[in-house]
Structure 1
Amino acid sequence: MKKIINAPENYTDDMLKGIYAAHPDQVKYVEGDLRCYCTANKKDGKVAIITGGGTGHLPLFLGYVGDGLLDGCGVGGVFQSPSAEQIYNVSKEVEAGAGILYLYGNYTGDIMNFDMAAEMCEMDDIETRSIVGADDVNSNANPDTRRGVAGIFFMYKCAGAKAAEMGTLDEVLAAAQKAKDNTRTVGFALTPCIIPEVGHSNFTLGENEMAMGMGIHGEPGVWNGPIKTADELAEESMKTLLDDMPVKEGEEICVLVNGLGATSIEELYILSGSVRKILDEKGIKTYRTFVGEYATSMEMAGASISICKVDDEMKKWIDMPVKTPFYTQA
């Protein structure tokens, strides 16, 4: 294992100390717990949006806490859920009088702990709503049980924008739901990654082997086989996405081409070009394309492709400026 770390067991806390030291004007933590990550610029009267998840996916999850996006994040260890107590303490810190939306990925441990935090908030008369991202098409035929992956970015953008417009709690939830209903993702891995406290790869792939549908924690995909070209990967991915969520000729989408941690930006743009060619041939309009790292898996090589079908309301939300230590959109 070659990593720039101190002790493996301190990986998450050492990372957080570095973030707080570098960006004290933007983020802070609840006193006594580094893993209760909050905006430093709370806005009175605004719905607070809280996410949470394991370390190892930056900029997901905590990287989207900031102006125009989220207000807090419960931070778990590498690939581990944050505790209910952490989520509750974040909730008390960022709640600003208009209620809280819990917006996070569709994973069992996260669901259990966010539900427990919601119950604790209810005892304090803090109103909450919850919604999970579940955009990974290849993870399950049933949309309700799909994993939440990079497509949650569009839920963050739409809910964050509606909250910044001082929408009500139910309006912010509706914005997140609208993005969820119109977003789908397909991903694939070329290499495994190494969890610091484990010290070895979390799965194995051959030298010329890849995994289609592999999850961001190493969950099994739909096939392992020889590495395909960018055009071939785009073709298979877009067929899967459009079969699951048909988009008519003339309709508009946003595209997100996401790197999993060790894929060069050059490769992501090659893949993005392959995706765009397919969309143009089908007469599907591309409103905006986002290329880069939005939801990673440590140093895993690979990528995911997300599409989000948009209307004029969603375009306005997606275009809204945001600023966090990890992501800025002018």
Structure 2
Amino acid sequence: MKKFMNRAETLVAESLAGFVAAHERLVVFGADSRFVRRRNLRPDKVALISGGGAGHEPMHVGFVGEGMLDAACTGHVFTSPTPDQIIAAIRETDRGEGCLLIVKNYDGDVMNFEMAAELAAEHRIATVIVRDDVNPSGSKRSQGRRGVAGTLVFEKLLGAAAEARWRLDDLSALGEDLNDRIRTVGVSLSGVTVPETERETFVLNEDEMEMGVGIHGEPGRARLKFATADEIVETMLKAILKDLEPKRSDKLLLFINGFGGTPVSELYLAYNSTRARLQSLGLTVARSLVGTYVTSLGMAGLSITVAGLEERELSLWDAPVNTAALRWGG
């Protein structure tokens, strides 16, 4: 295994130190370097906190800043942050308006964030569990739909609403509503090698692909024969549209996300194919995002996220954002 690292056990800490140093105008370490937070916390807004295992960068630390998260807690590679990390983030970022925890639906994440909320009961806390995966059976890591690349959409919309001073109950209600209107499916052409174990998560033949993968290097729900990009997109969109059932009057956000090992040119090719297919069905793509944002280490693969957004959410999507990974407006 060849990776740019010193030791597997220090990889995450050294990477986070580099991230904070590189983006020091936007972020700082929280107490005892247990989490990353906005450099300038606002006293008049609900604090948004998310997190998960390392290996998904730029999510979540890359989304800390104006218009998105106030803090992100990072565990070891593909391992949930501890309750102590989350409690420290709650206590440091809550300036009186409460905290909204945005949690991907994986057993470890849900358990540790719930435990932290219970132990920090002196704060007003609400939790949104992200469930955007099209696969309702989940995986060995989760019960039900997993939280995958659509988590970015939750964090952007809720972050903009918090910046506009929405109250905690209203933010929680929006998050729950979004769970019915955002769907994601992923495909992979390879497994990944986890630094601590030096083992590849799964192995494919040259003519195979994994359909329905998550973001922890785990296998998908079906192993299929490799096909052309148009055919792959057709399979992915069929699953999304069957689940989402958008109407022709809906305005859609189309997000093509790379898993860490897919060239940008291939992501844009997939976007072109996906958009053309949606338009052929009479559906309107109102907003778009293409890039590598929610990764699975260096997995060769991508995901398609489709979200049906109302006018208020379109405005929230367009609102200024200033983070290491997302930046527009303002």
What TM-score results when the alignment is normalised by the length of structure 2? Answer: 0.96
Structure 2 unmatched ranges of 5 or more: none
Is 1:282–2:289 an aligned residue pair? Answer: no
Partner amino acid for 2:226? I
Which residue number in structure 1 is paired with residue 100 of structure 2?
101
Q: Deviations over 1:91-119 (max 9, x none)?
A: 11111110000002001111111111111
- The letter of the residue matching 1:26 is L
Aligned pairs for 1:53-64 (under 5 A) are: 53-64=52-63
Please give the alpha-carbon distance, in whole angstroms, between the structure 1 residues aligned to 2:328 and 2:107.
32
Maintained 8 Å contact 2:202/2:219: no
Deviates more, 1:42-51 or 1:219-228: 219-228
Paired with 1:100 and 1:256, the residues of 2 have a C-alpha distance of 27
Retained in 1: the 8 A contact 2:106–2:143? no
* Residues 60-110 of structure 1, C-alpha deviations (whole Å, 9 max, x = no match): 122111100010111100000000010000111111110000002001111
SS, match of residue 257 in structure 1: strand
Aligned-pair CA distance for 1:325: 1.5
Alpha-carbon distance in structure 1 between the residues aligned to 2:319 and 2:180: 20
Distance 1:9 1:281 in 2: 49
Match of 2:135 in 1: 138
Structural mapping, 1:66-81, within 5 Å: 66-81=65-80
1:35 aligns with 2:34: yes
2:128 alignment partner AA:
I
Deviation >6 Å, runs of 4+: 141-144
Aligned pairs for 1:206-217 within 5 A: 206-217=205-216
Q: CA deviation at 1:144?
A: 7.2
Specify the alignment match of 1:7 in structure 2. 7
What CA deviation, in whole Å up to 9, does each residue of 1:145-180 have, x standing for no partner? 111000111111111111000111011112222322
> What does residue 127 of structure 1 align with?
124
Q: Residue 197 of structure 2 corresponds to which residue in structure 1?
A: 198
Q: Give the partner amino acid of 2:137.
A: N
- In the other structure, the counterpart of 2:324 is 325
Q: Does 1:250 align with 2:259?
A: no
- After the TM superposition, which residues 140-159 of structure 1 pair with which residues of structure 2 at under 5 Å, given as runs? 140=137, 145-159=144-158
Per mean C-alpha deviation after superposition, the further-off stretch among 279-288 and 202-211 is: 202-211
Structure 2 distance, partners of 1:41, 1:175, is: 25
Instruction: Determine if contact 2:255/2:288 at 8 Å carries over to the other structure.
Output: yes
Q: What SS is found at the alignment partner of 1:137?
A: coil
Contact 2:253 2:288 (C-alpha < 8 Å) held by counterparts: yes
Identity of aligned residues (%): 38
* Alpha carbons 1:321, 1:328 under 8 Å: kept: yes
Structure-1-length-normalised TM-score: 0.96
The separation in 1 between residues aligned to 2:177 and 2:328, in whole angstroms, is 21
Give, in whole Å, the separation in 1 of the partners of 2:114 and 2:277. 41
Partners of 2:228 and 2:131 in 1: CA distance: 27
Separation (CA, whole Å) in 2 of partners of 1:287 and 1:70: 24
Q: Are the equivalent residues in 2 in contact too, given 1:139–1:221 (CA < 8 A)?
A: no
For residues 204-243 of structure 1, what are the structure 2 equivalents within 5 Å?
204-243=203-242
- The amino acid of 2:220's aligned partner reads G
Q: How many residues align?
A: 327
Secondary structure at the aligned position of 1:184 is classed as strand
Q: Deviations over 1:225-278 (max 9, x none)?
A: 221111111111111111111011232100000000000110011111111111
Residues 155, 175 of structure 1: 8 Å contact kept? no
RMSD: 1.6
Residues 138 and 221, structure 1, Cα contact 8 Å, conserved in 2: no
Conservation of the 8 A alpha-carbon contact between 1:139 and 1:213: no
Partner-residue secondary structure (3-state), 1:13: helix
3-state DSSP class of the match of 2:199? coil
Question: What does residue 267 of structure 1 align with?
Answer: 266
Q: Deviations over 1:104-145 (max 9, x none)?
A: 2001111111111111211xx210000111111125289971
Name stretches of at least 5 consecutive residues in structure 1 with no aligned partner: none
Cα shift at 1:329? 2.2
Partner of 2:296: 297
Change in Cα spacing, 1:249 to 1:31, as seen in structure 2 (3 Å) is closer
8 Å Cα contact 2:138-2:146 kept in structure 1: no
Q: Secondary structure at the match of 2:135?
A: helix
Give, in angstroms, the shift of residue 26 of structure 1. 1.2
For the 8 Å contact 2:60–2:72, the answer to whether it is kept is yes
